[in-house]
Structure 1
């Protein structure tokens, strides 16, 4: 019963220790890096800029009001050229004054305001997508750092396994040395290799720490050295290309198409209403030389003519710009396809290498076990055993390298194809 209680307590403490250990995933790092990347703050500014621009464009439908004051002096005024018996007409004063409000109300603008609002929306979307382009680059940087941590982490594990093999060989060699069957130098060969492994472990630990420190800067989160970094699963990739750059090209085309609409709009007739009202001397009755109220209102029709001189060239210029954007898009898609073909080829090659790595490790492990028995029986020297241990370690390290490269290539390809 006491033994059962002890096992339950030990299991509880082990689970508590594992739960207390900080763990982190690649997806977590990507989300935190994007959320804390300084450039992400631009999205809020872009949204505000869009709202202000759209609001200002919408105010084009509000009345345009100007208040104008004017005082003048002129050297001559209009007078009757004849005298009328029994009637005296006072001439206008040479100093004249007036203050009035001028109100202009747009009734039909040919679609100018609507197109201005549309352009503001599309430009805002374009800037957001340009931010996404930079965030895609950030995703690749996080991939490099994260898989660098995983590779150094697994190499550290391989170093511990190799050290364990060398220590087993060292025990056998020291026993043989005590019996006088081998020289001291053969024991020292294994000890020297263990020290070399300890040096390599220090280098790997330093490399891992540097990667962790870089990652902590990106995600703005304290990461302990004991943190467990989970190895991501292999991906099932599709050929669908959803890169943000493609959306930028499409939005640039929309902007140019809307600019064509603006060219058309500015050449359409415009209809508006106006009103002027004020107080001055003289009013509209030029025969009354005194201060008076006055007002006038009506409708105004404007038919632009001069815009037709340049319309053809403006449309041709926008067509040329659209063709240029399309060429840039085609070039981007071509390079993407080329990169995808290259990455798929690398993935196929790496998978074949990983399969061969597993076969090689199994063989090297079998040879190492046999050489350990031969060392114990004095058939081979410690140098021979060391060679087999190193060969197995190299095979394991190669497999770690190939597996890391495979996952890194997959996740970079995912960043290349998706937003």
Structure 2
């Protein structure tokens, strides 16, 4: 364990770690600068660790913070993790980062207080991770603690209550101004009851804006939700031109999910992004073998990547499953080889690896096969793209099941006396 001791910090020692005293908080950017991180280096990753909540939606806040840190800090790799209740936990997040061959992980505890989680649980997690990954260097950044900016935020939140009360009074008197999109100054349309009840207003507004700019006539009714989800995930309209659907991919994928198909993924990042809750309703499981010890041994023995070795281990589960590959071209190449050899017949292949080496070629080989596939032409793609496609299929399968159940209910009603 390595910790950079900053001169202005007090030596409040807990185990083998030094922590900032109250009122002496350094921000993450300062710690990163002192550890000589360059924005162009992919050797160092940032891990933002939160407590975690049993309320699933509450955990999205930490993910939003991690993404904001990545953008504002200009860091290549920022990963969120949770101590309790949610995935990925600390160990799983370290596995995800280790797969990306990082050499150093800066851990930032997104905690307000220096309680037992910061002083005991987190050091234990780090020491456990060090035993598994001997070559990884861990640097512990200070927790949030006291900061004037946090005080300002608290005051802002309190003031907003009074502002909200005033706005409510205006609405009662019919004096409220129409809400506008802060980015376009155009009125925000009221959200219809046809939207999913779990959809956040910002997400709904995002999809409305996508619909305004996208030529929806280019896609059929089952393709369009996936295309929109891809654009929403990437903020890149070019995906509408690059996405490819082959051999009845979407219908086959939805049917496979409805029958309880497993989903095989190449890396942990994809595993934690897929909705286990939705998949579990159909009886399917998510399987990822890349971090297994025997897979690492197989990769070293045969001079192959861990993702390719993981796909080889997945062979007994491939038939009638959905395979989603977003990170590793070598995993897709291995899968294509097994399909060509007649050893595997997945129900659907989502082949969207990203990169400059092998990504485009592996996808071209996939699209030559007679298996159902969804792919992205060219170099673009990634685990987030694979996850977006899978989750879109899961939502479509869930909507179809709800519709079928409702039709069954209606068909059983007796209208003879009405």
Q: Same fold (TM over 0.5)?
A: no
TM-score (norm 2): 0.17
Q: Which has the higher contact order (CA 8 A, sep 6+)?
A: 1
- Answer with 1 or 2: which has the greater Rg: 1
Structure with the higher fraction of residues in helix conformation: 1
